[in-house]
Every structure is written in C-alpha cells, then in structure tokens.
Structure 1
Amino acid sequence: MYKTEYFTNSIDIRFEKGKNFATFTDIGTGEAPPKTLKATVKGNLLIIPAQQHQNDYVEAEVIKGKLYLRTRQVLWDKQGNTTGNKGSSDQRIFKRITKKR
C-alpha cells in the first residue's frame, strides 16, 4: 500500500507454489478496474516487461521490508518495436499490508 495525502494506491502480489512467476495485480486507487499482469522472477527482482498499449516496464524489489516499485516508460516506433530510448521513470515505496485469505 502506498499512501499520499489525497489517495491510497494498492497492489497485490501472489506467488504460486511450483511456478516461476508471480501474479501482480494493480488495484490502484479503486477508481478503475484492477489490472493483473504476470511478473517473472530474476534474482531478487520481479520484472514485468513492457507491452504496447498495456503497461510500462516495471521492476519490484524488497529492501528492508518495503517494496520498491520502479516503472519506466518505453517508447515504441510505428511498427510496434521499442525504440531503445528510455522514457521517464518513477519509483514508489509500498508498505506491506497483509490480509487473511
């Protein structure tokens, strides 16, 4: 959960036993429907590759009990390929909130 003065943003990450990926659900502020993406595990990072018209490049990493979520815009050419140029980036730090299932 990431809180600011005016809104709260939430994400849900679930690991399935025996799988090499996690389900990453961006709940957001609750104004729009949640979006679920597949994140692959690479070392100590969860990585969600960019998909045109779907999502930006996303990395998630736990440091000292907090989730650091880094996003970077990916620029696309007319053929739907990445241009290699890096767009703007952003980092948010989320606090862990556990819910009983």
Structure 2
Amino acid sequence: MFTPKYPVSDTITALRNATRPAPTDSVSVQHHAPVSAPAPTSPTRPAIHLTPGSTLALIGGGTALVLIVGTVLVSMLLAVAITGASVAVCAVVVRSLMNHNR
C-alpha cells in the first residue's frame, strides 16, 4: 500500500525519445522495441503469528513499562515538590533571622 509505484519501462523510453531532438541528416534511424523490465516486487515479510502466550507476554511487558515510566515520573515530581518546600522553609527561616536582629 505504501510502496512506490514505478512506471513501466516503455513509458520511460518514450519520454526519453520525446526530449531528444530529431536527427537532421538523412541517415536511417533504427527503432528498437523497448525492453520491458520486470515489475518491482515488494520484499516478502514473514507474517507475525500471535499465540495466546505471546499475547499475554506483550500485555505484561507493556503494563510493566507503563508502571516503570509512571513511577519514574511521579518520583521526579515528588523530588521537585520536596525541593520547593525545603527552599520555602529556608526562606522563612532566613527572613525570620533577618527580622529578629532589628
């Protein structure tokens, strides 16, 4: 479906002959029949056969991947939240110390 469609070789020969200028001398021009090239074939790919065991393995692997990625993202969010809270506490303590001297 997504493979390119190639023109037949006689179409290419006709296009090439149309762009060449006509011979000006009186020498006879020999015309050859276009050689037909074999049609391009797509490479054969082996069919994928899913057995019930391999289907369960794919589902289990996908679930594990989603859980691992989710855990990493949540832990990163938690690290950012804890860092922000600790910076806020430090700011309050420093402000309290600065105001206490006055």
Q: Which has the larger radius of gyration?
A: 2
TM-score by length of 2: 0.19
Higher strand share: 1
Is the helix fraction higher in 1 or 2?
2
What is the TM-score with the length of structure 1 in the denominator? 0.19
